[in-house]
Chain A
Amino acid sequence: MEAIYAFCVGILTTCGFFLVLRGRTFTVVIGLTLLSYAVNLFLFASGRLTLDGAAVLGQSEQYSDPLPQALVLTAIVIGFAMTAFAVILAMRSRADQGNDHVDGQIPDKSKKTSASVKRNS
């Protein structure tokens, strides 16, 4: 179980970081969402993984650590609010700059091609 769990967190983090490093705001926001999923799972595992363990003493033979669950709740709420803000900001940026690139302008690659197209024509 631990291996699969760790593998999932790793995959999510990798995808998250890859998407955050992309140039368009949409993929960046998706990347941030994946990162926050990965973080939530990771935090949850910091109290060790137990099966059939209630978080309240006396309810089951094994009990699980309740604190990471509280931490994850806090992290989910904060992550949700931040993602909402990032989405609104991305839309505002799209409206203000006229494109959805994080730098506010389409990078050189397309400029070069458009310039070469002009030269050719």
Chain B
Amino acid sequence: MQHLAIFPILIPMLAAVFMLLPPLGNSVTRHRIFAVSMMIILVIASAVLLLTSHQQGTQVYVLGGWQPPFGITLVADRLSTMMVLLTSVLGLGAQLYACAGDDNEGMFFHPLFMFQIMGVNGAFLTGDIFNLFVFFEVLLIASYALLIHGGGKQKTKANVHYVILNLVGSSIFLFALGILYGTLGSLNIEDMAQKVRLLDGNQQALVKTGGLLLLVVFGLKAALLPLHFWLPKTYAAASAPVAALFAIMTKVGVYSILRVHTTLFGEDAGALASIAVPWLWPLALLTLIMGAIGVLASPNLRLTAANLVIVSVGTLMLAIAMQREAATAAALYYIIHSTLVTGALFLIADLIGKHRGKAEDRYVIARNMNHSTIIGIVFFIAALTVVGMPPLSGFAGKILILQAAQGMTEIAWVWPAVLLAGLASLVAISRAGTTLFWRSKGDANVAEPISKLKLIAIGLLLCASPMLVVFGGAVTDYTSLAAAQLHDSSALVDTVPLGGNQ
């Protein structure tokens, strides 16, 4: 199928537009059925795209037939298709959970959700750095609206900070793009990667500025240390399905750093090779430590989950800073694991909050919880996974990252930091579990049934964890191939035909 590569962008966009039109508009039930069925189609399309690009090589979709580097391309290689499939699965889980009632708190939940998915998928698939900016804006404006969906003081307050920060981030992004275009004369990532090697001294300084400005922007999205302060409050204020979907948003930043600073400023970039690495090392370590402190200090489960997102970003950044294939492969495995499990954890936090009456998900003594058995089981599985205990995927992911550090001098930093952050998460999550489930007194609140859809949604996200271990061999083979593709700059030249200017 020639047009397969654009489907992950087209399907959510058309779905969102159709939901605004009269036959589907104004009826939540019709929205739900339509949105979920479109999402299932999207998951299937992403899976087919992943298989196609895995077996037949990178799929390059040239929009409008304008050949690169002048036209705009979508590049579906192993890494981007993997991220697209991950987004679709996470989106399906969050959406099923929302269908149980959270989508009814305001209007147009499902169209906004679809636009957000479109932006995220587009950011993963695009091979053009200006289009990366455009898709960033698409996903951001959808996320602004989703964050405030349902209204409330907390949400407005969090949203003001989030919007202002990201608007400043967008301006910096454009400054960086202006610098890069002014010196390199191209916006196609593969083309830029080739031109970076041919620069003279003055231009190198300019391009370095541009590249590091991009690191600031992506660091803001990924919640890297000095730019992470917005994350915990924002994620804790958002409604549960939105917070679960936002678990992929930090990964968009991580992906962009991976793409730009391995392809564009990779090992072959001459004097500009690995310009981000001296910054990434200390920032990643400090992010990990700050995340661990945040996890220990959180007063409720939502904030704990938000801080666990920061811990996962720190771990991923450590793996990226290593700049070697094995580490990138490990990071990709860890991305799949951490996105799905933190998404599930946000949903579980909401479920617990709904069944504890006024205490919500705060760590205080409260009345007994209804349905504590089933909620306890899913919490236990999620906790084991997110902390990184065997036999679930968190353990495998951490082992891979620790193994990848072997033979480097930085191992003295990586191992203690990752292991101590794991210990901090273990302590915090155990305390959370004992307080939430065991330290209770008095009768239960009025029994309120758990919606089946919510359990299905959480189950869907959580079952990924054992699957990642059972099919661990296949997954790690795939991530190694994806990492090899990302690091091998000569492969890109073959896949993306650069006509015209050669």
Contacts and interface: CB of A to CB of B under 8 A. Distances in A.
Contacts of A20: 164, 168
Given A28-B164, A90-B160, A96-B156, A46 B181 contact: yes
Contacts of A96: 151-153, 156-157
A89 B156 CA distance: 8
Contacts of A43: 174, 177-178, 181
B134 A74 contact: yes
A42 B175 contact: yes
Contacts of B174: 39, 42-43, 75
Nearest to B181: A46
B157 A93 contact: yes
B130 interface: yes
Given A71-B130, A96-B156, A35 B171 contact: yes
A36 B171 contact: yes
Interface string B163-178: 1100110110011011
A96 B167 CA distance: 22
Interface string A38-76: 110011011110000000000000000001100100110
Nearest to A105: B157
Given A42-B175, A78-B137, A82-B137, A32 B157 contact: no
Contacts of A74: 130, 134
A53 to B, nearest CB: 16
Contacts of A79: 170
Contacts of A36: 171
Contact of A39 (B151, B159, B171): B171
Contacts of B170: 78-79, 82
Nearest to A75: B174
B161 interface: yes
A82 B141 contact: yes
A42 B172 CA distance: 11
A68 B186 CA distance: 11
A25 B181 contact: no
Q: What interface size band does chain B fall in?
A: 20 to 34
Contacts of B152: 96
Nearest to A48: B182
A97 interface: yes
A30 interface: no
A93 B141 contact: no
Contacts, number: 89
Contacts of A67: 181, 187
A102 interface: yes
A97 B156 contact: yes
A81 B171 contact: no
A89 B144 contact: yes
Which of B130, B159, B160 has its CB near the most chain A CB atoms (within 10 A)? B160
Nearest to A33: B167
A75 B170 CA distance: 10
B181 A32 contact: no
A81 B441 CA distance: 52
B178 A45 contact: yes
B237 to A, nearest CB: 12
Contacts of A46: 177-179, 181-182
Contact of A86 (B163, B171, B177, B178): B163
Contacts of A45: 178, 182
Interface of A: 16, 20, 25, 28, 32, 35-36, 38-39, 42-43, 45-48, 67-68, 71, 74-75, 78-79, 81-82, 85-86, 89-90, 92-93, 96-97, 102-104
14 contacts: A42-B174, A43-B177, A46-B177, A71-B181, A74-B130, A74-B134, A82-B170, A85-B141, A86-B163, A89-B160, A92-B148, A93-B157, A93-B159, A96-B157
Which 8 pairs from chain A and chain B are nearest by CB?
A: A46-B182, A46-B178, A39-B174, A96-B156, A104-B157, A35-B171, A43-B178, A46-B181
